[in-house]
Amino acid sequence: MISIQQNLQEVRQRISAAAERCGRDPAEVTLLAVSKTKPASAVEEAVAAGQIAFGENYVQEGVDKIQALAAYPQLVWHFIGPLQSNKSRLVAENFAWCHTVDRLRIATRLNEQRPAGLAPLNVLIQINISDEQSKSGIMLDALPELARQIAQLPRLQLRGLMAIPAPESDYARQLAVCQQMADALAQLKQHYPSVDTLSLGMSDDMDAAIAAGSTMVRIGTAIFGARDYANATHNNN
């Protein structure tokens, strides 16, 4: 049986190879291990293999894991799922990052609910780059105004952009979409010195995302194996 440690090693090697092919330093790309539906014991296995950054899609499940793994203060927890207003306090109080801010109301709630004793919550604005009705996120033309509003909230730190492009098997088309995101990030950087993060790329489009300039790839199944939604607490999202 292949272990989480072996899987992590393979994913890291793939990230390094993709970065080197386009002349980038692999250290510029953070691997975010997406641990949704997986038990805290699986996260512990990944921690033992040197993984620090973890992404959770479901608020309550993520909070339960954060509390269960409180003995590992080095871990950095990212919320990467759709965020409902009634769950914003749990994200503000427990996570270091939120990748899915797509409206001022959510940003305002996170800002108000972020405890003063914690560092500002790192936030990414989610872009609906493929204009899919089923996906969260804003259109690119709405980005300047939302970024301006978020930048004024003192308990938030605007760090960049996140997107989930529509599935696409053709590398050239993947790259074109990823490049749109990279261009948007470059424009945002000109106005906000804190912006440095492009959360883009999953197992199927990671190579194109890295070639375009992604600084954070979100990988789940390739690390932890197939997800078991029957045992997940995602109904509490």
**Which of 117, 166, 125, 154 is CA-nearest to residue 142?**
125
- Which domain range does residue 70 map to? 4-225
User: Three-state DSSP class for 95?
Assistant: coil
CA 62 to centroid of chain Cα atoms: 13
Please check whether residue 187 lies inside any domain of the structure. yes
Burial 21-32 (b: 16+ CB within 10 A, else e): eeebeeeebbbb
Tell me how long the chain is.
237
Q: Which helix (H) or strand (E) holds 121?
A: strand 121-127
Please check whether residue 16 lies inside any domain of the structure. yes
Say what percent of the chain tops pLDDT 70.
95
* pLDDT, position 173: 96
Letter for the amino acid at 202?
Answer: M
Q: Provide the pLDDT confidence category of residue 230 given band limits of 50, 70 and 90.
A: low
Q: Give the pTM.
A: 0.95
Say what percent of the chain tops pLDDT 90.
91
* pLDDT, position 115: 98
Please check whether residue 233 lies inside any domain of the structure. no
* pLDDT, position 220: 96
Q: Provide the pLDDT confidence category of residue 131 given band limits of 50, 70 and 90.
A: confident
Measured CA to CA in angstroms, residue 129 lies from 56, 135, 142, 173, 217 at distances of: 21, 9, 12, 13, 16
* pLDDT, position 42: 96
* pLDDT, position 234: 47
The answer to whether the CB of 203 falls within 8 A of the CB of 221 is yes
pLDDT at 221 over 90: yes
CA separation for the pair 101, 159 (Å, rounded): 11
Sign of the dihedral through C-alpha 202, 207, 213, 216: positive
pLDDT at 233 over 60: no
Please check whether residue 14 lies inside any domain of the structure. yes
CA separation for the pair 153, 27 (Å, rounded): 30
CA angle 96, 159, 98 (to 5 degrees): 35
* CATH number reported for the structural domain that contains residue 207 in this entry: 3.20.20.10
Among 29-33, 38-42, 67-71, 232-236, which is the least confidently predicted range? 232-236
Average pLDDT, the chain: 94
Please check whether residue 98 lies inside any domain of the structure. yes
Please check whether residue 231 lies inside any domain of the structure. no
Domain count, the chain: 1
* pLDDT, position 237: 56
* pLDDT, position 171: 96
Residue recorded with tokens 């959770």: 56
Please check whether residue 234 lies inside any domain of the structure. no
Burial grade of 136 (CB within 10 A; 0-12, 13-18, 19 or more): middle
Tens digit of each residue's pLDDT (9 = 90 or more) over 143-194? 999 999 999 999 999 999 999 999 999 999 999 999 999 999 999 999 999 9
Tens digit of each residue's pLDDT (9 = 90 or more) over 70-115? 999 999 999 999 999 999 999 999 999 999 999 999 999 999 999 9
| Beta-carbon count within 10 A of 166 CB | 15
Please check whether residue 13 lies inside any domain of the structure. yes
